[in-house]
Chains A and B, each alone.
Chain A
Amino acid sequence: MSIEEKDKQTEENVTNPAKADQQAEMEEIPETSPWKDAFRQLRKNRFALAGLIIIVIFLLIGLFSPWLTSYGYDDQVLANRLQPPSAEHWLGTDDVGRDIFTRIAYGARISLQVGFFAVVGALVFGTILGIVAGYFGRWVDMLISRIFDILLAFPSILLAIAIVAIIGASLQNALIAIAIINIPIFGRLVRSKVISLREEEYIMAAKAQGMKNGRIILHHILPNSLAPIIVQATLGFGTAILDAAALGFLGLGAQPPTPEWGEMLASSRDFIQLAPWTLIAPGLCIMLVVLGFNLIGDGLRDALDPKMKH
Chain B
Amino acid sequence: MPKETLLELENLHTHFLTDNGEIPAVNGVSLSLHKGEIVGIVGESGCGKSVTSLSVMQLVPNPPGKIVSGNIHFKDENIVKASQKRMKQIRGNEIGMIFQEPMTSLNPLFTIGNQIIEAIRFHRKISKKEAKQESIDLLKLVGIPRADEVIDEYPHQLSGGMRQRVMIAMSVSCDPDILIADEPTTALDVTIQAQILDIMRDLNQERETAILLITHDLGVVAELCERVIVMYAGQVVEEGNVREILKDPQHPYTKGLIRSLPKLHGDEQTLYSIPGTVPNPGLKKTGCQFAPRCEFAFDRCFNEEPELYNLGDKRTSRCFLYDKKEGDAAEHAESTLGS
Binding site for B on A (CB under 8 A): 32-34, 138, 200-202, 204-212, 215, 219-220, 223-224
Contact = CB atoms under 8 A, between A and B. Distances in A.
A201 B93 contact: no
Interface string B43-70: 0000000000000010100010000000
Interface of B: 57, 59, 63, 87-93, 96-101, 104-110, 118-119, 122-123, 154, 156-157, 167, 170-171
Contact of A208 (B91, B110, B157): B91
A208 B50 CA distance: 14
B227 to A, nearest CB: 23
Contacts of B96: 208-209
Contact of A201 (B57, B101, B170): B101
B175 to A, nearest CB: 13
A32 B157 contact: yes
Nearest to B123: A210
Nearest to A219: B118
B104 A208 contact: no
Contacts of A201: 99-101, 104-105
Contacts of A206: 107
A205 B154 contact: no
Contacts of B91: 207-210
Given A201-B104, A205-B97, A210 B92 contact: yes
A219 B107 contact: yes
A236 to B, nearest CB: 23
B92 A209 contact: yes
A32 B154 CA distance: 8
A207 B182 CA distance: 15
Given A205-B97, A211-B88, A224-B107, 20 more contacts: A201-B100, A201-B101, A202-B104, A204-B59, A207-B57, A208-B57, A208-B59, A208-B92, A208-B96, A208-B99, A209-B92, A209-B119, A210-B87, A210-B89, A210-B92, A211-B92, A211-B122, A219-B118, A223-B110, A224-B108
Contacts, number: 72
B214 to A, nearest CB: 13
Main secondary structure of the interface of B (DSSP, over half): mixed
Instruction: Tell me which of B87, B100, B119, B157 has the highest count of chain A C-beta atoms within 10 A of its own C-beta.
Output: B119
A279 to B, nearest CB: 47
Nearest to B53: A208
A138 B64 CA distance: 11
A223 B108 CA distance: 10
B157 A207 contact: no
Contacts of B100: 201
B122 A200 contact: no
B7 to A, nearest CB: 15
B122 A202 contact: no
A200 B104 contact: yes
Nearest to B107: A202
Contacts of A202: 104-107
B262 to A, nearest CB: 30
A207 B84 CA distance: 11
B99 A209 contact: no
12 contacts: A201-B104, A201-B105, A202-B105, A205-B106, A205-B170, A208-B171, A209-B92, A209-B171, A210-B123, A212-B88, A220-B107, A224-B109
Contacts of A212: 88
Contacts of B108: 34, 224
A220 B107 CA distance: 7
A209 B89 CA distance: 9
Contacts of B118: 219
A57 to B, nearest CB: 33
B93 A210 contact: yes
Instruction: Tell me which of A33, A202, A209 has the highest count of chain B C-beta atoms within 10 A of its own C-beta.
Output: A209
Given A207-B59, A209-B170, A223 B109 contact: yes
Nearest to B97: A208
A68 B276 CA distance: 83
Contacts of B167: 205
A209 B172 CA distance: 10
B105 to A, nearest CB: 4
Pick the 7 closest A-B CB pairs, nearest first. Answer: A209-B92, A210-B91, A210-B92, A208-B97, A210-B88, A201-B105, A201-B104
B331 to A, nearest CB: 48
A223 B118 CA distance: 15
A135 to B, nearest CB: 13
B176 to A, nearest CB: 10
A33 B57 contact: no
Instruction: Tell me which of B57, B93, B109 has the highest count of chain A C-beta atoms within 10 A of its own C-beta.
Output: B109
Nearest to B99: A201
A29 to B, nearest CB: 11
B88 A205 contact: no
A212 B122 CA distance: 10
Contacts of B106: 202, 205
A200 B103 CA distance: 10
A200 B110 CA distance: 15
